[in-house]
Amino acid sequence: MVSRRVPAIPLCMILLAQLGFGFVVTTGRPLSRQLSLSQAGRPDVICLMVKDTVYGPLEEKFQRWKTDKEKLGASIVVKIISSESPSQIRSFLKNVTNLAGCLMVGDIPYVEFEWNYSDVYGKQFYDRFPSDLYFMDLSGDWVDSNGNGVYDKILGDLGPEIWVGRLKTSNLSGNEIDLLKHYFDKNHDYLTGALTMPPRALIYVDESTPEATDSATEYYTGELALKTRDALSKIYPEVVLVRSLEYTNASDYLNRLRESWSLVRLNVHSGGFGHYFIYDGKWDCSIHQHLSGSLGL
């Protein structure tokens, strides 16, 4: 059983990972010049979990990725998934000693969570969404109270013990195998230092409600935005902060993503199906298909 803790991850990030969004945190330096993955002489274990339908065509890419990671000090466990259920996958992860994280490639099964909640105006809503927190939280007890096949309660500590990343390309435009080949080629170039990122960061902050007069908007666009800028300035020579309510919207954000950044910090309403911006007092949604198509991913 994994006992090591990783920093808490915002739920919106956990959900978006399921649907093809990605977020990368780097220092802008080749990984060969960053710290080793080893801790106290003991290598972190990373699970490479691959759907059987994509493993064969990409086996050479996976073996190269494994070698690259091992050169950085990690220990890699390869797990091929055929018909295993989410609960069987979670049980497997629980039993991997010193597991730090898992990279899921292909159509690996997932679970959904449902809940009722209130917005800032007290209006009640129901939501159902996929969540990879199920695979990160290896110590919590996930409950399906009404037996409808969707989890609705988590007992115990729901913080993540490991990280989980997901590469799912079957729902994107283009050939699934070709898209994954392209990713792993770029990943290899980055891990070996052939591909570097410019040492600059973007902080993009949107308002919390259409009225933009609530305390949450004031905090996110004010104190938190400035603290984030000051903290990142210690790492990146250039930090761009965008928090003007006149400019923060889906189109502007997509245009800025076309620039080169090592880090993008986005503060916006997000869920299992996209990022939701507010512009001119109205909701301006940027779903993940829009993101993928606009950026040519």
158 is written with which tokens?
């729901």
Give per-residue pLDDT as tens, 229-264: 999 999 999 999 998 777 788 888 889 988 999 999
Residue 7 binned pLDDT confidence (cut-offs 50, 70, 90): very low
11-191 is a CATH 3.40.50.620 domain? no
Determine the average pLDDT of the residues in 30-56.
70
Residue 272 binned pLDDT confidence (cut-offs 50, 70, 90): low
Give per-residue pLDDT as tens, 63-75: 999 999 999 999 9
Give per-residue pLDDT as tens, 149-169: 999 999 998 889 999 999 999
For the chain, give the percent of residues with pLDDT over 70.
78
Residue 119 binned pLDDT confidence (cut-offs 50, 70, 90): confident
